[in-house]
Amino acid sequence: MNTNNRFGFVQFQQRLARMALHRRELGAARAALRVLRTSDFFGGALACEGYFAVLRDHRSTEAEIREAIAAIIELRPAGAGVAP
């Protein structure tokens, strides 16, 4: 997937997660974000590794998941189309 397509894909997944979170559908929001990777965001692993770890850990509490989702949907996607 080229950079432009990946950028759009990341934005789309963030929008899906935002809508699901608004509807209190944590499972759907979690699923939308699990397909993303740390390299999809500015700051890479430093910016979001902990949040993705929460999403992937079946022992995470609902509050931890909600917090991680809220943080990931606000992260700035890396790639084309993003002004510095």
Q: What's residue 53's pLDDT?
A: 95
Angle at 44 between CA 33 and CA 61, to 5 degrees: 45
pLDDT tens for residues 7-45?
A: 999 999 999 999 999 999 999 999 999 999 999 998 877
Query: In this model, does residue 80 exceed pLDDT 90?
Result: no
Mean pLDDT score of the chain: 89
Q: What's residue 67's pLDDT?
A: 96
The tokens describing 71, both together, are 């943080």
Angle at 74 between CA 4 and CA 24, to 5 degrees: 115
Distances (CA, A) of 10 to 41, 60, 68, 76, 81: 9, 23, 16, 10, 12
Angle at 49 between CA 46 and CA 51, to 5 degrees: 120
